[in-house]
Amino acid sequence: MDEAFLSGLRDLLQEQCRVPPLPAGWRCTSAMLAAHGFSYGGDFFVADLVRAPGGGTSLTMVLVDVCGKGETALPHAVQFAGALRGLMVGLPGEGLMQAANAFLLRQPSDESIATAAQVVLDLDTGHYAIRSAGHPPVLRWDAGADEWRVDTARGTALGVVDDPEFSVSEGVLAPGEGLLFYTDGVVESPASDIDSGIEWLRERARDAVAEDGLAAVPARILGQVTRGDDDRALLVLARE
């Protein structure tokens, strides 16, 4: 693909990967790295704030890993990111993943498949609901126990079947707690399975919190992951 075209797509995707300004007491940080040999990757996230008519604000955020890697995944990522942002306007909650699945099924490419993790977070109470579509499990920082706990939400990847199932996990983030989202490139490698990779991530992320706080976790972890055959992305949503 033409370098100028890819650069334009990258800039467009980065523009869509922005978190709206969060109210005092909340912070979001992220870090991304494309696959070995590529300057562009297909991992991305989209986010939007929803203000209830009677007051209160919630954040909807989705971290996505599209099929493919590097520049081959970039066009699919840009198209899907735009669709997700549009869908969020009318379906910020439980219907979003079903609508995203329907969108991918209508695409002509066999590579229109993605995994995703969605969170809907009440920024007033800290209550959250997580839905997963074939994505590595979200980690939740438990400040009282001083450890990352593996979330239980599981589901079917998007763009595979007409009626995917998504289980939902719920909880409340207290001050000093947060959620860690990541793509499989962070925890998978030819030398180890995903379960071992998740345990590695829990240990390294715990050390990062102890030394520099929750906000530093994405950059610290990405600095310890060598560029390999898959794109990598991490995102932390923390209640300060």
Q: Which two tokens stand for residue 160?
A: 């595979």
Q: Which of 16-30, 31-45, 124-138, 166-180 has the lowest mean pLDDT?
A: 31-45
Give me the pLDDT at residue 71, please. 61
The amino acid sitting at 77 is: A
Model confidence at 129, pLDDT cuts 50, 70, 90, reads very high
Distances (CA, A) of 83 to 47, 119, 210: 12, 17, 38
Give me the pLDDT at residue 49, please. 94
The domain spans of the chain are: 3-239
94: phi then psi, degrees, rounded to nearest 5: -70, -25
Q: What is the rounded average pLDDT of the residues 121-137? A: 97
3-239 carries CATH number 3.60.40.10: yes
Distances (CA, A) of 203 to 29, 116, 176, 196, 221: 19, 23, 18, 11, 10
C-alpha distance across the termini of the chain, in Å? 43
Q: How many whole angstroms separate alpha carbon 40 and alpha carbon 77?
A: 11
pLDDT tens across 79-104, in order? Answer: 899 999 999 988 878 899 999 999 99
